């Protein structure tokens, strides 16, 4: 491609001039205002994720962008997938190569992205949602939300009183870095994945190591990771692991005691975390992809990202289309919805598992779960 060149290097091989240019790009590009784009995230994830690297794009002799990524065979994914909630080329507006150009320059047989930040016609749009506190802070946000969605927030106030009456006084702490608490949270998430027949992203080991290493980190611009916890009496009821940088606070991994679901401890923890973090100057609280019902009551902002798979023309693309047609026949028109679900499951498996045997095992389990979804409606109407 005319004018484009790319150099693939390890993150620890980038010199200070490259990191300085990276930081200058972030300062000039509001769309990249997320902890996932900070150099410290790439430096830590680049040292832990297998086959991690940074693509340095130059055009006409000038460095114009960086793309942190990881390889799994011939496939390329954003660095730290499947846990990276935002990704793209670190470049100023209008200067980045397109998603298709990135795939070609990197020689990928397949480039899979779930939350691409940047202009591209490829794939499908998805929305992420945020709480934007604005200048008036948490109290003003809560007053507006309670007036707009009175029943929901009154229910949560009753749930707070109920849990306190049953278990004891509630206490919230944020800024937690205890690795034992993180292990408790990871255990909750693994139990959840098992109950819901989803791939256990922590079984591979490196993903849990990444969370532990990020928890130790402090980078420029307030970059870091921490947890917040909600106790009722002496009982820990919920934990949430978050990334933060600047005025951005990204809720990442929430977990709560399933036996207390009726009291909504996870929702109560998110509210109290926002209240406490707002006092420290955080103004945007990112909840990731929309979907969970409570987010529509919380969030007053949204961003559009792209989910796409760029496949090199050939047998892989033909097989993908044939599989969709087969699913359409088996699922009575549900092929497109199943394709998105299976694609996301496979992306997580491929990102986590670094050996063909482990990927095959995960794929078999994902296929079984997908077929169960197809058959369930058929059994219900039989």
CA 225 – CA 206 distance, rounded (Å): 17
Q: Give the relative orientation of helices 315-331 and 356-381 as an angle to the nearest 10 degrees.
A: 30
Chain-wide mean pLDDT for the chain? Answer: 89
pLDDT of res. 54: 98
382 confidence band (pLDDT: 50, 70, 90): very low
pLDDT at 251 over 70: yes
Instruction: For residue 219, count other CB atoms closer than 10 A to its CB.
Output: 16
Report residue 3's pLDDT band, with 50, 70 and 90 as the boundaries.
confident
User: For residues 128 and 314, is the Cβ–Cβ distance under 8 A?
Assistant: no
Residue 88 phi/psi, 5° resolution? 165, -175
| pLDDT for the residue numbered 347 | 82
Band of the pLDDT at 158, cuts 50, 70, 90? Answer: very high
Closest by CA to 289, choosing from 119, 149, 85, 121, is: 85
Tens-digit pLDDT profile for residues 41-76: 999 999 999 999 999 999 988 999 999 999 998 889
- pLDDT for res 331: 44
Region 261-287: what's the mean pLDDT?
96
The C-alpha atoms of residue 241 and residue 44 are separated, in whole angstroms, by 17
Cross-strand pairs, 264:
none
Q: What is the mean pLDDT of residues 355-360?
A: 77
Question: Which residues make Cβ contacts (< 8 Å) with residue 232, sequence separation at least 6?
Answer: 163, 164, 166, 167, 168, 169, 170, 171, 265
| Tokens standing for residue 358 | 């482990």
Percent of the chain with pLDDT over 70: 87
Q: Are 80 and 51 in contact (CB under 8 A)?
A: no
- 88-134 pLDDT tens trace: 999 999 999 999 999 999 999 889 999 999 888 888 999 999 999 98
Asked if residue 315 has pLDDT above 50, the reply is no
Cβ contacts of 196 within 8 Å, gap of 6 or more: none
pLDDT beyond 70 at 338? no
Quickly state the pLDDT bin for 314 (edges 50, 70, 90): low
Give pLDDT, residue 311. 87
Cα 311 vs. chain centroid, distance in angstroms? 22
| Per-residue pLDDT reduced to its tens digit, 168-181 | 999 999 999 999 99
What pTM does this model have? 0.89
- Tell me what pLDDT residue 26 has: 97
Q: How far apart are CA 111 and CA 339, in angstroms?
A: 16
Which pLDDT value is given to residue 73?
A: 84
Query: What is the per-residue pLDDT for 326?
Result: 44
Instruction: Supply the pLDDT for residue 327.
Output: 41
pLDDT over 90 percentage in the chain: 72
Q: What are the DSSP E strand ranges found in the chain?
A: 4-9, 52-59, 62-72, 75-78, 110-116, 124-132, 170-176, 224-232, 235-245, 248-256, 284-289, 301-311
All residues at 6 or more sequence positions from 30 whose CB lies less than 8 Å from its CB, including other chains: none
Residue 17 pLDDT level (bands cut at 50, 70, 90):
very high
pLDDT of residue 324: 42
- Using the predicted structure, report yes or no on whether residue 346 has a pLDDT greater than 90: no
**Eight-class DSSP state of 261:** G
pLDDT tens per residue, range 191-235: 999 888 888 999 999 999 999 999 998 877 789 999 999 999 999
pLDDT attached to residue 83: 95
Burial 178-204 (b: 16+ CB within 10 A, else e): eeebbeebbebbbeebeeeebbbbbeb
Contact 79, 46 (CB under 8 A): yes
Q: What's the pLDDT score for residue 381?
A: 45
Q: Please report the pLDDT score of residue 328 as a whole number.
A: 43
CA distance 32 to 313: 31
């Amino acid at each position: 491609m005319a004018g484009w060149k790319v150099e693939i290097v390890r993150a620890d091989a980038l010199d200070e001039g490259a990191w300085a240019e990276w930081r200058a790009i972030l300062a000039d590009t509001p769309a990249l205002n997320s902890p996932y784009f900070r150099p410290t995230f790439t430096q830590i994830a680049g040292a832990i994720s297998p086959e991690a690297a940074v693509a340095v794009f130059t055009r006409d002799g000038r460095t114009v962008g960086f793309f942190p990524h990881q390889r799994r065979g011939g496939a390329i994914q954003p660095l730290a997938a499947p846990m990276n909630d935002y990704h793209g080329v670190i470049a100023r507006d209008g200067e980045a190569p397109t998603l298709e150009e990135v795939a070609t320059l990197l020689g990928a047989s397949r480039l899979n992205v779930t939350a691409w930040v940047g202009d591209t016609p490829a794939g499908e749009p998805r929305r992420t949602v945020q709480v934007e506190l604005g200048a008036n802070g948490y109290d003003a946000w809560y007053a507006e939300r309670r007036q707009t969605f009175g029943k929901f927030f009154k229910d949560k106030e009753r749930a707070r009183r109920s849990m306190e009456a049953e278990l004891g006084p509630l206490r919230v702490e944020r800024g937690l870095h205890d690795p034992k608490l993180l292990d408790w949270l990871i255990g909750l998430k693994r139990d959840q994945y098992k109950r819901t027949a989803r791939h256990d992203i922590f079984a591979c080991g490196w993903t849990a190591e990444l969370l532990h290493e990020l928890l130790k980190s402090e980078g420029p611009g307030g970059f870091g990771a921490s947890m917040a916890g909600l106790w009722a009496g002496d009982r820990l009821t919920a934990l949430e692991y978050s990334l933060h940088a600047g005025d951005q606070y990204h809720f990442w991994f929430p977990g709560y005691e399933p036996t207390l679901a009726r009291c909504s401890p996870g929702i109560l923890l998110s509210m109290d975390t926002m209240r406490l973090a707002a006092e420290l100057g955080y103004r945007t609280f990112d909840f990731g992809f929309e979907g969970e019902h409570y987010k529509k009551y919380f969030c007053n902002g949204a961003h559009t990202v792209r989910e796409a798979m760029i496949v090199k023309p050939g047998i892989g693309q033909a097989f993908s289309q044939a599989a969709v047609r087969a699913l359409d026949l088996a699922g009575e028109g549900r092929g497109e919805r199943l394709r998105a679900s299976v694609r996301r499951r496979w992306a997580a498996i491929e990102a986590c598992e670094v050996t063909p045997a482990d990927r095959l095992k995960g794929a078999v389990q994902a296929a079984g779960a997908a077929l169960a979804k197809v058959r369930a409606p058929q059994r219900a109407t039989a």
